[in-house]
Amino acid sequence: MVVSGSIARWSLERPYIHSQTTWPLTTAPLSSSSPPLTLSLSLFLSFSPNMASLIGVSSIYQTPTLELYHRPNATSTSSVRLQCLDSKSHFSNLLRAHRHSPGPTFKTGLKPTPTFLPSAVATPNSSLLSEEAFKGLGRHFDQTDHDFQDASDSHSAEPINSDELDISKLDLPSRLVDSLQSRGITQLFPIQRAVLVPALQGRDIIARAKTGTGKTLAFGIPVIKGLTEDGDESSFRRSGRLPRVLVLAPTRELAKQVEKEIKESAPYLSTVCVYGGVSYVSQQSALSRGVDVVVGTPGRIIDLINGKSLKLSEVQYLVLDEADQMLAVGFEEDVELILENLPSQRQSMLFSATMPAWVKKLARKYLNNPLTIDLVGDEEEKLAEGIKLYAIAATATSKRTILSDLVTVYAKGGKTIVFTQTKRDADEVSLALTNSITSEALHGDISQHQRERTLNGFRQGKFTVLVATDVAARGLDIPNVDLIIHYELPNDPETFVHRSGRTGRAGKQGTAILLYTSSQRRTVRSLERDVGSKFEFVSSPAMEEVLESSAAQVVATLTGVHPESIQFFTPTAQKLIEEQGTTALAAALAQLSGFSRPPSSRSLITHEQGWTTLQLTRDSGDRRYFSARSVTGFLSDVFSSAADEVGKIHIIADERVQGAVFDLPEEIAKELLTKDIPPGNTVSKITKLPPLQDDGPPSDFYGKFSDRERSNRRGSTSRGGFSSRGGFASRDRRGFKTSRGWDEEDSDDDFSDRSSRRGGRNFKSGGNSWSRAGGNKSSGDDWLIGGRRSSRPSSSDRFGGACFNCGESGHRASDCPSSSNRRSFF
Ligand SMILES: Nc1ncnc2c1ncn2[C@@H]1O[C@H](COP(=O)(O)OP(=O)(O)OP(=O)(O)O)[C@@H](O)[C@H]1O
């Protein structure tokens, strides 16, 4: 059968780097039933003698193949998509060659017309290379290619040949391979594979990949290979040798981490980390002994250059890690000064999550025809795969109550990082948690030494919850963090991605939970759009879940009890079991779980202790209007104390159900449940909230910024992105550039406290009074009818609710003028 307007897709079978373009395809006959053809890449190579790098790549990774797909329903304006290795220049060569060649004749007779449309490959940085990370290794087309999604799904590729990724088969120095293998690193990750070949060819590179996907070794492996092959044993020991690699990182923690990764991968090289806040002299003497790799923050590097302790004249490799963050913390001048001091003959690699104007300028000015390797793309999900996202509505007060429950249920004994906006919150939240869970705070007011102790303790599992400001959001690589809790909304989507990226690293699974107040619901939706991921909106864990998880964790710890200790307790255990059976063991578990007393009841709406959430529903046949006032009316008639004490009331968002959920003090709720309930109504205690109607005016702001603050900030910088924070921070901080410590790097932190004094806290307390029972209501808080502190008149006074019987306000059903209705009611 002849299909007009079919689409041919050519792709490398293993497109670990690919460029894309389109060019017109003359309609060609193609059998709709023909399977995809597999053609050898040598078809292409034979067109172009200029494809050296392509040949180089294919010889390392074995010959990739091309596949031809067709899509029967495509229109005649269809195009051929060619995905090929390497950069635009090679790609152009390929196409140029193709233009003068007859082109391949496929068995089916399909023959593309080789007319190259240059605009189709135009991307901001000469080439756009893309790839699906991890899971997508075997797939052919990137996810932005919606047109082809189905086709690619239906033609899943053969599993990738592991030789192509196997670090022992990539001609790397054996001692590098040995040390990587001893760390369990045996296969390249996608960004490493994408960077390796062009980096080994000496190309300048701009790269972007998702959090935790191995960017450090992406530049680390080629740089170490270069250094190792350039020198012999004696050159690595020569005293006073000058650094050949310079890595710039925006924070001390990140610099230390990069140093650690390089040291562990190449212990035979001398790697020195330099940053502020610690002794200058020890860094000076380390440099004077001779060094191969210097990793550091720009501020201290400038100080060392000025003090003539650091000479950059032999630097061959420059790496700028987290370049956009340099801008955000106000290091742009320092970075440029350092780059001016470097030899012009060098290779530069720049890693950046976003490309604000300054980073583009850097690339233009200091990089030589850079190759851009972007494994994220514009449309794709920005979070690493394997991170499960939840969103939980909470009030400012209830967040504290539910935090330990979230840790218990979602981290299951593993490590958690809780992100707060302010240093004060980090301290307070950590302190509050310590009653039940081991926890420490990390922020810019803590001394450098203490911060290092804290991070080490967390790494080693000495405590399980780290409560941190955004200083820990970027770059920190702590193994096995299972759970991230955004205690407050981040300032922008990038911060959300970086905070969340502390889990789900190196292809592992992780969970991130966003706590939001009802007024932030719209922001949560825009966050979903900005990061390209969906949250699962869930309630905070029910007490049953918390108890179950606690018990499971206690049981898990039992396996760690030494057998000799068990022997001591066995006789008592036997006696207990004989006397009490399983009750004895259950009591022990309850005690060890921290529940020696039964957990007090807790509101499902506000999560506050001492409250019980009940549900009132009316028969579906009852057509009267149901509102929050109907609830108070009902309560006044059934049990007036309940009407006095009722807390939050929410109407159920289900057209088929006439009803509401509401909070009562625990004891009152118990009593209400013993009362006679009028026929046609049901009152019950619930353990999970049904879907509820919206309960307040939406707002649209991230983190601590009020609408006004955000619009001010937007006025001076770009939209809601990281750069806006950067612009703000750098402008504010310019005067402080001499004292370079964490505090300087920790602009977000400093800013957080300033903002809380200026408005952040006010805003929060404003939010509180808006949502809390008994507070001054703003418009929209129409569910708050009762008052916890009973600011409302008592039931014997003027009645503010609506009659449950007739729906009119101002009287109770018991006082309803319609006596017939009243009778039917009771
Ligand atoms: N090929 C590999 N195999 C196994 N583990 C790896 C590999 N490459 C890197 N890792 C490990 O993965 C973790 C994450 O790497 P790295 O810190 O470089 O990620 P990143 O992309 O820089 O993250 P972020 O953007 O958050 O800074 C590290 O613990 C690293 O040792």
The residue among 766, 751, 762, 769 whose CA lies nearest residue 422 is 751
Q: What phi and psi values does residue 272 have, to the nearest 5 degrees?
A: -120, 135
The C-alpha atoms of residue 189 and residue 181 are separated, in whole angstroms, by 14
Mean pLDDT, all residues of the chain: 69
What secondary structure, in 3-state letters, does 639-684 show? CHHHHHHCCEEEEECCCCCEEEEEEEEHHHHHHHCCCCCCCCEEEE
Better pLDDT: 149 or 31:
31
ipTM: 0.98
Dihedral of CA atoms 70, 73, 79, 80 in degrees, nearest 10, equals: -10
The pLDDT value recorded for residue 199 is 94
Which atom of ligand 1 is found nearest the CA of 213? 21
- Give me the mean pLDDT over the 777-787 stretch: 26
| Partners of 615 in beta bridges | 661, 684
Q: Please report, as a single letter, which amino acid is at residue 689.
A: L
Q: Which residues line ligand 1 (CB under 6 A)?
A: 185, 187-189, 192, 209, 211-217, 261, 475, 477, 501, 505-506
Provide the 10 A C-beta neighbour count for residue 53: 18
pLDDT for 34 beyond 50: no
Lowest-pLDDT range of 614-628, 656-670, 780-794 = 780-794
Lowest-pLDDT range of 237-241, 251-255, 809-813 = 809-813
pLDDT band of residue 46 (cuts 50, 70, 90) is very low
Report how far apart, in Å, the C-alpha atoms of 125 and of each of 27, 211, 310, 364, 637 are: 33, 21, 33, 9, 72
Atom 25, ligand 1: residue with shortest CA distance: 211
Which atom of ligand 1 is found nearest the CA of 167? 1
- Which run of H or E residues covers position 347? strand 347-351
pLDDT for 280 beyond 50: yes
What six digits make up the tokens of 6?
Answer: 């079919």
- Give me the mean pLDDT over the 133-161 stretch: 30
Lowest-pLDDT range of 524-533, 622-631, 682-691, 804-813 = 804-813
Dump pLDDT digits (tens) for 410-455: 998 899 999 999 999 999 999 988 877 899 999 988 888 898 899 9
The C-alpha atoms of residue 321 and residue 315 are separated, in whole angstroms, by 16
Lowest-pLDDT range of 69-83, 135-149, 278-292, 418-432 = 135-149
Residue 133 CA to ligand 1 center (angstroms) comes to: 13
Residue 211 CA to ligand 1 center (angstroms) comes to: 8
pLDDT for 743 beyond 90: no
Residue 477 CA to ligand 1 center (angstroms) comes to: 7
Dump pLDDT digits (tens) for 538-594: 888 888 888 999 898 889 888 889 999 999 999 999 999 999 999 999 999 998 888
Going along 375-480, which residue ranges are E strands? 387-393, 415-419, 439-442, 465-468
The pLDDT value recorded for residue 351 is 92
pLDDT for 43 beyond 60: no
pLDDT band of residue 233 (cuts 50, 70, 90) is low
The pLDDT value recorded for residue 121 is 21
- Give me the mean pLDDT over the 121-132 stretch: 27
What percentage of the chain carries pLDDT values higher than 70?
63
Residue 212 CA to ligand 1 center (angstroms) comes to: 5
Q: What phi and psi values does residue 119 have, to the nearest 5 degrees?
A: -60, -25
pLDDT band of residue 469 (cuts 50, 70, 90) is very high
Select the highest-mean-pLDDT range: 150-159, 259-268, 375-384.
Answer: 259-268
Which atom of ligand 1 is found nearest the CA of 501? 26
Lowest-pLDDT range of 11-25, 249-263, 516-530, 726-740 = 726-740
The pLDDT value recorded for residue 817 is 59
pLDDT band of residue 253 (cuts 50, 70, 90) is confident
Residue 505 CA to ligand 1 center (angstroms) comes to: 7
Which atom of ligand 1 is found nearest the CA of 191? 21
The pLDDT value recorded for residue 403 is 93
Better pLDDT: 128 or 403:
403
pLDDT band of residue 811 (cuts 50, 70, 90) is low
Residue 531: partners with Cβ closer than 8 Å, 6 or more residues away: 381, 382, 383, 493, 496, 497
Lowest-pLDDT range of 612-621, 631-640, 751-760, 792-801 = 751-760
- Best residue among 383, 505, 722 to mutate for probing ligand 1, ranked by most atoms within 8 Å of CB: 505
pLDDT for 336 beyond 90: yes
Select the highest-mean-pLDDT range: 281-285, 444-448, 707-711, 780-784.
Answer: 281-285
Atom 14, ligand 1: residue with shortest CA distance: 212
pLDDT band of residue 51 (cuts 50, 70, 90) is very low
The pLDDT value recorded for residue 232 is 66
Burial of residue 715 (number of CB atoms within 10 Å: 0-12, 13-18, 19+): exposed
Atom 12, ligand 1: residue with shortest CA distance: 506
Better pLDDT: 111 or 613:
613
Which atom of ligand 1 is found nearest the CA of 477? 17
- Give me the mean pLDDT over the 516-545 stretch: 88
Dump pLDDT digits (tens) for 601-630: 888 888 888 899 999 998 877 777 888 899
- Which run of H or E residues covers position 586? helix 582-592
pLDDT for 134 beyond 50: no
The pLDDT value recorded for residue 445 is 87
The C-alpha atoms of residue 94 and residue 490 are separated, in whole angstroms, by 45
